[in-house]
Structure 1
Amino acid sequence: MTIEAVIWDLGGVFTSSPFEAFNRFEAQRGLPRDLIRTVNTTNPDSNAWALFERGEIDGAGFDRKFLEETTALGHPVRGAEVLPLLSGEVRPRMVEALTICKQRFKVGCITNNMVHGHGPAMATNPESASRGGGIMQHFDAIIESSKVGVRKPDPRIYLMMCEQLRVEAKACVYLDDLGINCKAAAQLGMVAIKVISERQALADLEGATGLTFPKSQSRS
């Protein structure tokens, strides 16, 4: 089927990966590498991260529950210490690719995010959208986990986007930096692109859409 829509994740796609910030934090604190990722992938439907991204607990609740989970692993870290790490640097070439895609396709954003805090992983409002370089204004539809109570990789959130854009899943390209989220999209029939680097993602997107994006000397 002809591609009709390009659907994007936000953090780790339009911004630098929070995993890099997690690792720097862990190194600075003398914590095991990938401790935060381990916490976030343990009991993935009921841990602090999942509950916060579905809007089922508030910031204080996340702070407490994340501390409980890291303490159980022998390395106490408060949730409030982790949230600032989610503010990545905007990737201008990805934003440019979005604007080019919008000239030919419908464009949407599905993001697992949180209600309380700042940065690209937080629920949008006019002020935060402005801080994010105006990325959100380009989308035809935006679905935020903290607002709809469903998070990736639950298939329902992808189908919500298809309904909003009025397209079939098999007519969509989907970009995300997490393999588990890409797998769920692919199982619905979407062309899934796992974002490992900016250069790789744009090359794969060119192949999927037939578009051409401006080149850069960046090695990312």
Structure 2
Amino acid sequence: MLASHTFSAVIFDFGGVITTSPFEAFNRLEAERGLPHDFIRHVNSADPDTNAWAMFERAEINAAQFDALFAQEAAMAGHTLDGASVLAVLAGAVRPAMVTALDRLKAAGFRLACITNNVPTGHGAGMARDPGDPLEAVFARFEHVIESAKVGLRKPDPQIYTMMTEYLGLTPEACIYLDDLGINCKPARALGMHAIKVTSGEQALADLSALLNVPLA
């Protein structure tokens, strides 16, 4: 099967797309601690370029500093929660159907890449890659991976998307981008990519399959 005449590459976010959403784990932690639903997202979205989460994803602070700074931000928002507890639940479970889809897309002639916001320490989908991590078998399916914690840029900064298209040697119009956050899809779309906002693995595969005329679901 030949690749689409319109699209040459599919670029994936990792956490929340290839794996289950970390927000689900955050909500479970909130319920366990008696915190408001989506409290962690609220803290992480306040001052989105300068808060503890943003600095940690750009590797500007270490885990201990994140632990303390996040606790301060949570206290300012009216509740008690340390950053270490947030990091402890960050890893998501791999969606097997997404991994199968990667193999089918590659067999169909599409180039595969990944842009992920992650943090520099720990293990799992939300952490920077470790050669001994079981997730390496999934990451190996991508031609190129850009990690925020390693390049010092994080989505939704448009530069991180341009960095990928330049590496691939493709125009944005030749790329499809999938992310579970609309704020991260917006700059990709503005650059000319076809962006798919992921609300579930099933929805993402159905939308991608229809767009490329490749059976994925």
Output the TM-score relative to the length of structure 1: 0.94
Q: Contact conserved, 1:90 with 1:133, CA < 8 A, in 2?
A: no
Q: Contact conserved, 2:173 with 2:192, CA < 8 A, in 1?
A: yes
Residue of structure 1 equivalent to 2:120: 115
Structure-2 separation of matches of 1:78 and 1:121: 17
* Structure 2 spans left out of the alignment, 5+ residues: none
> Once the two structures are superposed, what CA deviation does each residue of 1:100-124 show, in whole Å capped at 9, x if it has no partner?
1122111110000011111111111
Q: Contact conserved, 2:182 with 2:197, CA < 8 A, in 1?
A: yes
1:133 offset after TM fit, Å? 6.4
Query: Alignment partner of 2:10: what SS?
Result: strand
* Structure 1 spans left out of the alignment, 5+ residues: 216-220
2:174 aligned partner, one-letter code = A
Structure-1 separation of matches of 2:84 and 2:111: 36
Q: Contact conserved, 2:56 with 2:66, CA < 8 A, in 1?
A: yes
1:94 aligned partner, one-letter code = M
Confirm or deny that 1:204 pairs with 2:207: yes
Q: Contact conserved, 1:84 with 1:118, CA < 8 A, in 2?
A: no
1:125 offset after TM fit, Å? 2.0
Structure-1 separation of matches of 2:106 and 2:148: 23
Q: Contact conserved, 1:182 with 1:193, CA < 8 A, in 2?
A: yes
What is the alpha-carbon root mean square deviation over aligned residues?
1.1
Output the TM-score relative to the length of structure 2: 0.95
Residue of structure 1 equivalent to 2:170: 167
Aligned with residue 79 of structure 1, among 53, 76, 83: 83
The count of residues paired between Structure 1 and Structure 2 equals 212
Percent sequence identity is 55
Q: Which runs of 4+ in 1 moved over 2 A?
A: none
Q: Contact conserved, 2:129 with 2:136, CA < 8 A, in 1?
A: no
Confirm or deny that 1:66 pairs with 2:78: no
Confirm or deny that 1:139 pairs with 2:142: yes
Structure-2 separation of matches of 1:67 and 1:74: 11
Residue of structure 1 equivalent to 2:55: 51
Q: How does 1:180-191 map to 2 (within 5 A)?
A: 180-191=183-194
2:15 aligned partner, one-letter code = G
